[in-house]
Amino acid sequence: MTRASLAAASTLMLTALLAACGGGGGGGGSTPPVTGGGGGSTPTTPPTGSPTSTPTSPAPPTPSPGASGALTLNGSPLTNAMVAFTCGCTGDAGKIQTDGSGNYTINAVTGAPSVLYSGKTYVPSGHNLLVVGYAAAPSKTQAWTMLFLGNTPSHNLTLSNTDVAATAAALYVYYEASLINNNDKTFDWFNFNQIIAFAQHLRQGSLDSTEQKFLTDITNAQTNGQTLFPVGASWSNVISADGTNGAISADIQAVAKDTNDSTLPTPCPGIGQCSGAPTP
């Protein structure tokens, strides 16, 4: 073989080798796929504008039932005084104190020390509460009022203040509840809106003689340091063995019998079954 034929044969062999390896110099072969270090497929980027969920804030808790108020006696705050509150449901009451301004607070969740049972707690189970503040000894008189305890404080109602009209309305309901022919003497037998109307009526004047005497006897008793209880109660006897006030009892009976007053609180058909009553 001549040198020229040998060179030609080498060229043909080199050309065939390059073709078998996919072509030389980038000559038209496909680029192999790029793989990651673990041999998996390349991750894709999520499309923009995808909806995302926004966490919602929890609803604020409902305020616990409870009430605050202030007691006055003869126009002055009843300061640092013992206060009894009761729904009339069980014959028991809770006892708390007013502060230096005559203010008090009732916590209807934790309750207060029981009047009747040492070491026990009294929690009111009704909505209509009687509140009685006791003047310091040797005085025997009290400041009376009532309040409607709602399931939340925004539903609470009061008789506005502890004037003689509020005291008269509270005394009237307290006495009338004692006459109900039922073991449960709860004040929830009465419509609190009607109790409010009665107190407002007593403030407006234009009273008949029995109502006027009722208010006069209350004022005299408070001025002279006498008890206001028309009838006794287990819890009141424990707090102060001051007995009862016969004049106040007679006044309430006369008002119930002789007064043509549409605002007089009367028992409802059943406990908590009062038409037009406040929303708990």
Q: Tell me: the pLDDT tens digits for 97-154?
A: 999 999 999 999 999 999 999 999 999 999 999 999 999 888 888 999 999 999 999 9
Q: Is the model's pLDDT at 15 over the cut of 60?
A: no
Determine the 3-state secondary structure of 159 from DSSP. Answer: coil
- Flag whether 263 is in a domain: no
The phi and psi torsions of 241 (rounded to 5 degrees) equal -85, 65
Q: How many domains does the chain have?
A: 1
- Flag whether 125 is in a domain: yes
Which is nearest to 86 in space by CA: 123, 113, 121, 134? 123
Neighbours of 130 (CB within 10 A): 23
- Flag whether 27 is in a domain: no
Q: Give the pLDDT band (50/70/90) at residue 53.
A: low
- Flag whether 220 is in a domain: yes
User: What average pLDDT is seen over the chain?
Assistant: 84
Q: Tell me the pTM.
A: 0.78
The phi and psi torsions of 233 (rounded to 5 degrees) equal -140, 155
Locate the DSSP E strands across the chain.
66-70, 72-73, 76-77, 82-86, 94-97, 103-107, 112-113, 121-122, 128-134, 142-148, 157-158
- The DSSP letter of residue 114 is B
> Which tens digits make up the pLDDT trace of 181-220?
888 899 999 999 999 999 999 999 789 999 999 999 999 9
Write down the residue that tokens 């616990």 correspond to: 64
> Which tens digits make up the pLDDT trace of 149-170?
999 999 999 998 889 999 999 9
Across 219-225, average pLDDT: 94
Q: From CA 155, how far away is CA 149, in angstroms rounded?
A: 7
Q: Give the pLDDT band (50/70/90) at residue 227.
A: very high
% residues pLDDT > 70 (the chain): 78
Q: Is the model's pLDDT at 2 over the cut of 60?
A: no
- Flag whether 22 is in a domain: no
Question: How far does Cα 46 stand from its chain's mean position?
Answer: 50
Looking at residue 154, what is its pLDDT? 94
User: Between β-strands 66-70 and 72-73, what pairing exists: parallel, antiparallel or unpaired?
Assistant: unpaired
Looking at residue 236, what is its pLDDT? 86
Q: Give the pLDDT band (50/70/90) at residue 3.
A: very low
Q: What is the domain range of residue 212?
A: 66-258
List Cβ neighbours of 84 (8 Å cut-off, separation of 6 or more).
93, 94, 95, 115, 131, 132, 134, 235, 236, 239
List Cβ neighbours of 83 (8 Å cut-off, separation of 6 or more).
71, 95, 96, 97, 98, 104, 131, 132, 133, 134
Q: Is the model's pLDDT at 253 over the cut of 90?
A: yes
Question: How far does Cα 261 stand from its chain's mean position?
Answer: 33
Q: From CA 152, how far away is CA 170, in angstroms rounded?
A: 23
List Cβ neighbours of 254 (8 Å cut-off, separation of 6 or more).
210, 213, 214
- Flag whether 35 is in a domain: no
- Flag whether 237 is in a domain: yes
Q: From CA 102, how far away is CA 108, in angstroms rounded?
A: 20
- Flag whether 243 is in a domain: yes
